[in-house]
Structure formats: structure tokens, C-alpha cells
Amino acid sequence: MNKDNIIKNLNTISSIKKYQKFYHYEDNLYIEYNDILQFARRWIYGRNRYDGIIFIKKVFNNSFNVIDGLLKEYFCTNKDKTEIIYYIISFNNLYKKNIKSLEEIEKTYSNDSKISSELYILKKNINIKINKIDNLNINDS
């Protein structure tokens, strides 16, 4: 998954509201239409919450790798850092927006302890990245 695809998926995740279902297809996340055929579509295509959460975790893990690479590049190169800073700030802002959406997903699946546990760990990992970036004061660079 490339950087732009990760950003696109993070933007989609940040748009998920309570009770909305989501699915992935060819490395892209989509929000499911909420209509009377939703159940049938999900059943026919084999879409389920667990595969959706696994994909969301994959998006975040890929984004963590990208952020780690950007931070390494920021500190270890002498080239112009404008684009690097732009991406670091963009990812940090998306992480902050996604925490709220993950809480909405958590509300949707509040009776599912497996999903709740996965989201709890994911939110902790995202908050670690947010704090790491915020502590760098990159905005001031």
C-alpha cells in the first residue's frame, strides 16, 4: 500500500460514523450503503466486521511504517524537508481524526469484545504515534 493510498484509506476511516458498516476491496476501504439490501450484499460478498477491522489495522500498520520512514528521513537527511513535514503533519492530523471514528466504530460494535479489544489496542498505538509527533514540535520547524 503506497503513501497516497494509505492517506485515502485514513480519510475514509475518519468518515465512518456510528452504525455505519464498511468493507475493503482491492486495498481500498469503502463505507457501505445503509439500505434494506445491506444485509444481502454483506452476506453475498462475505463481508464482515472482523475482516474490516483487520484491514483497518493493516492500513494503520502501513501508515506507522511510512511515518517511521518519514521521521528517519527528517532527522537523517540534509535535503529540503518541506514535503516531509507536510506528510508528517498530514498523518498526525489524520490520526487525531481517526481516533474519533474508531470510537464510533467501537460504539457500533459495543457488544463484541473481540472488536472492542482490537480497537482499544489500535487506539493506544495511534496515540503513541500522535504523542511522538506532537513532542517533536515539527510544526515549528
Ordered DSSP codes for 20-74: --EEEETTEEEEPP-STTHHHHHHHTT--HHHHHHHHHHHHHHHHHHHHHHHHHH
pLDDT at residue 139 greater than cutoff 70: no
Tell me the CB-side half-sphere exposure of residue 66, using CA atoms within 13 A: 22
> What pTM was estimated for this model as a whole?
0.90
Q: What is the pLDDT of residue 41?
A: 75
**pLDDT band with cut points at 50, 70 and 90 for residue 121:** very high
Strand-pair category, 28-31 with 22-25: antiparallel
Q: What is the pLDDT of residue 30?
A: 92
